[in-house]
A = this chain, B = another copy of it.
Amino acid sequence: MELNEAKQKFIEAWGKLGSEWGINRTMAQIHALLLISPDALTTEEIMETLSISRGNANMTLRDLIGWGLIEKQHRAGERKEYFYADKDTWNIARQVAKERRKRELDPVLKVLDEISKVEGDLKDPEFATFYKSVTDINKLAKNVDKTLDTMLKAEESWFWGSIFKMFK
């Protein structure tokens, strides 16, 4: 396989994975493109490489900055903005985990806590089943939350080292 073909495949695969996980395709693709670029790229270059419009490129780049995955760079004597992706995979994973926790897990935990408060008679199967499912899910969600918390603070090698002790 040739390098440019491989790059193309990587961008496609990353875009597809992103869309299956609720991250839009363009966002994942721009991120992929920047990940494999040694230098920062301009909006123009990104538009051209991925065949997307200026508006789309601009908005998606801002989203990526919002996710903490890329940053703007300025060059002396130039007006153009250049975009550069953090290449540290562990940082990327943490950043994504952090954002999704904030946007999705936190609100769900809030709802679960709220609806866990509903009172009723455990002799009533309707109530008992509802209550058990909700509190079980709440427990699982809290465990996930705590684990993410650890992960966010952790060094990569320590984190995976600890995980792999589980295999023994």
Binding site for B on A (CB under 8 A): 1-3, 5-7, 9-10, 13, 17, 19-22, 35-39, 87, 89-90, 93, 103-104, 107-108, 111-112, 114-115, 117-118, 120, 125-130, 132-134, 136-137, 139-140, 143, 146-147, 150, 159-160, 162-167
- Copies of this protein in the assembly total 2
- Whether the Cβ atoms of B126 and A150 lie closer than 8 Å is no
Q: Which residues of B contact A165 (CB under 8 A)?
A: 162, 165
Instruction: Tell me whether chain A's interface is mostly helix, strand or loop, or mixed.
Output: helix
Q: Which residues of B contact A143 (CB under 8 A)?
A: 160, 163
- Whether the Cβ atoms of B162 and A1 lie closer than 8 Å is no
| Subset of 23 A-B contacts with CB under 8 Å | A1-B117, A2-B118, A3-B126, A3-B127, A6-B118, A6-B130, A6-B134, A7-B130, A9-B115, A10-B115, A10-B130, A13-B108, A13-B112, A19-B22, A21-B22, A35-B133, A36-B133, A38-B126, A39-B125, A89-B133, A93-B140, A143-B160, A150-B166
